[in-house]
Amino acid sequence: MTDHLELPAREWWKSAVVYQIYPRSFADSDGDGIGDLPGITGRLDYLAALGVDVIWLSPVYPSPQDDNGYDISDYQDIDPVFGTLADFDELLEGVHRRGMKLLMDLVVNHTSDEHPWFVESRSSRENPRRDWYWWRPPRPGMTAGDPGAEPTNWLSAFSGSAWELDRDSGEYYLHLFSRKQPDLNWENPEVRAAVYAMMRWWLDRGVDGFRMDVINMISKDPALPDGHSHPGSSPWGDGLPHVLNGPNIHTYLQEMHREVFALHSRAFLAVGETPGCTVEEARLYTDPARGELDMVFQFEHVQVDQDGTKWQRRPLVLGELRAVMNRWQVGLADVGWNSLYWNNHDQPRVVSRYGDDGPEHRVRAATALGTVLHLHRGTPYIYQGEELGMTNAPFVHIEDFRDIESVNHYAAAVAAGQDPHAVLEDLRAVSRDNARTPMQWDGGLHAGFTTGTPWLAVNPNHREINAEAAQADPGSVWHHYRALIGLRHTESAVVHGDFTLLLTEHEQLYAFTRRHRHTVLLVIANLSSRTAVADQVPDVAAWERAELLLSNAPAPDAAHHRFALRPWEARVYRRVQ
Ligand code: TEU
């Protein structure tokens, strides 16, 4: 980070760009077809050349891999498939030596069912760790195992009931995700103390903070009430209102801050993944005076193309996306801080989802979307391959998918009578596996990801879309992302500037200004595959004469009589007033 941006040390992350690595798919060093820590270490110079400041590492802890590592069986070691703690220490040293920081993925809403804590908890009703998880008897008047005997009518995120019967004890345990991911009971102070001790252990090892998995789910409504029935999927009910942003969430986060982060002089980064979080709640989570989180991942902007669940797809309406992004910019303008993302390991590739991934427009669309995102106020997160304009994958059969969420949804939807072809279409569009195909390093065998058989098929378009080709091409998405990162490190208006949305009704253009002291930036992008006229921009004549700071297309030819942008063209102008 550059101190001329005048940031207090504890807010270093306001001028940082974070790069998310999904280790399983990033770089394989030992030929087993699965990415690993030495593979990441071997690619640190690539990340340093891109210019990112922070690496967020998706889980590499010991895990049965039921949910690709988000089911943890030991919080203080490394799964052998990814390497060893010595490999981790070598990676961390390499990250720090290059002036970067590293965040671990903290998954403490739930453990694996193979974690010793759960193994003990399920061993008997009298076990001292029984209350470390959510155990409940069958619904009153019903027999364990009978349909509907589950303690609540909640659906899990991965299909089926959120309760699993343990026949030995005749009780059910709660799992908001897979049945191999039992939810920890954060009401129990012993659970909280154990989590905090583990967090301190990683900070003492030198990590620089955490991305906190579904952290706003750790406080549940202790009454565990039934949810309102899902339209068309009864008898199941929606448990989310009873597990999101629960009654003790702020108490727990403030306690975590006191028991973990406040004990160190270093400035860390704590970013919470908070599905279902509103702007109002984010103001509470990220208000620095409250000592909770530095920023959150909200989900509203990655749900504007959905009608209810992610499988109920509808076309993107630019105005809706723009309105959501604006609401979050305005809502956190005076307190708190935004995270900025389009992609992660759970979301389809944005150039396929909100852009145009055809050969004619893919590069422009990817760089236009990147420009819009990175010029907002907040901390941008780049997901591996986004900087290459990687696209969704051409999955064909259900056997091509690996993600538990997708595989379970297909089985449940087809069993419920849905057309398998239609369900496959939904998977092709929004399956999390779209984000998890191996990183495309070069145009050779398996895209240079592995010398073995990749755990998930490499996208065949790696022959054209790969890091080697992108770094050699000044007009690539990679070089544009590098320029965006550089702008954040040098232009104080990108970090500190206010945000004013323009052209709020335009169907193609996304435009806004960022103003800081005497500098004003105009960001304008044509997020469509047709030319767009932009002469309604206020003070357009002055902007036409302004300095063109960054663009994803050759300078507009002088013949242009009007302020028009070509398909997927994005520009950043600067004026000093
Ligand atoms: O995701 C939580 C979450 O909200 C996701 O279930 C998301 O809604 C869904 O994947 C959209 O399709 C976190 C992790 O990012 C995810 O990979 C894990 O599967 C999940 O928690 C359980 O740990």
Distance CA 190, CA 168 (A): 25
Total domains present in the chain: 4
* Domain-located, residue 491: no
Confidence category of residue 440, pLDDT binned at 50, 70, 90: very high
CB 294 within 8 Å of CB 285: no
Does the active-site annotation cover 213? Answer: yes
Query: For residue 557, what is the domain's CATH number?
Result: 2.60.40.1180
pLDDT digit string (tens) for 169-196? 999 999 999 999 999 999 999 999 999 9
What are 79-113's pLDDT values in tens digits?
Answer: 999 999 999 999 999 999 999 999 999 999 999 99
Distance 368 CA to ligand 1 centre (A): 27
Boundary residue ending a domain (166, 183, 200): 183
Residue 6 has pLDDT above 90, yes or no: no
- In order of 55, 75, 85, the CA distances from 208 in angstroms are 10, 17, 16
Catalytic residue among 28, 164, 183, 213: 213
Question: 558 falls in which pLDDT band (50, 70, 90)?
Answer: low
Q: Does 336 reside within a domain?
A: yes
Cβ of residue 94 lying under 6 Å from some atom of ligand 1: no
Among 346, 404, 405, which is best to mutate for testing ligand 1, by the most ligand atoms less than 8 A from CB?
346
**Confidence tier at 235 by pLDDT (50, 70, 90):** confident
Cα 157 to ligand 1 centre (Å): 8
Backbone angles phi, psi at 187, to 5 degrees: -65, -25
If asked whether residues 418 and 566 sit together in one domain, one would say no
Look at residue 551 and give its three-state secondary structure. Answer: strand
Q: How far is CA 449 from CA 23, 443, 479, 489, in A?
A: 11, 10, 21, 30
Q: What is the pLDDT of residue 561?
A: 56
User: Is the CB of 175 within 6 Å of ligand 1?
Assistant: no
Task: Kindly state if the Cβ of 427 falls inside 6 Å of ligand 1.
Answer: no
Strands 509-516 and 519-526, sheet pairing: antiparallel
Q: Are residues 153 and 257 in the same domain?
A: no
Tens of pLDDT along 365-414? 999 999 999 999 999 999 999 999 999 999 999 999 999 999 999 999 99
Q: Which atom of ligand 1 is nearest to the CA of 70?
A: 23
Please give the pLDDT value at position 167.
97
Phi, psi (degrees; rounded to nearest 5) at 262: -70, -15
Q: Is 183 in the pocket of ligand 1 (CB under 6 A)?
A: no
Residue 345 inside a domain? The answer is yes
Residues 287 and 384 in one domain: yes
Kindly report the protein residue whose alpha carbon is nearest to atom 2 of ligand 1.
214
* Dihedrals phi, psi of 422, to nearest 5 degrees: -70, -40
**Catalytic residue check, 273:** yes
- Same domain membership, residue 236 and residue 172: no
Instruction: Decide if pLDDT at 58 tops 70.
Output: yes
CATH code (residue 142): 3.90.400.10
Q: Tell me: the pLDDT tens digits for 36-52?
A: 999 999 999 999 999 99
Q: Is the shortest distance between the CB of 213 and ligand 1 below 6 Å?
A: yes
Q: From ligand 1's centre to the CA of 2, what distance in Å?
A: 34
492 lies in a domain? no
**Which atom of ligand 1 is least distant from the CA of 178?**
22
Domain limits for position 132: 112-183
Query: Distance (Å, rounded) from C-alpha 499 to C-alpha 504?
Result: 13
From start to end of 290-385, where are the E strands?
295-297, 306-307, 309-313, 339-340, 379-383
Residue 212 and residue 136 share a domain:
no
Residue 486 lies in a domain: no
Q: Residue 503 in contact with residue 509, Cβ under 8 Å?
A: yes
Mean pLDDT along residues 221-249? 89
The chain-wide mean pLDDT, for the chain, equals: 96
Of 366, 372, 434, 367, residue with least CA distance to 405: 434
**Together in a domain, 350 and 442:** yes
Which residue is closest in CA terms to ligand 1's atom 14? 213
* CATH code for the domain of 53: 3.20.20.80
Strands of 74-197, DSSP E: 101-106, 135-136, 163-166, 171-174
**What pLDDT, on the 0 to 100 scale, is given for residue 563?**
84
- C-beta 275 within 6 A of ligand 1: yes
Residue 489 within any structural domain of the chain: no
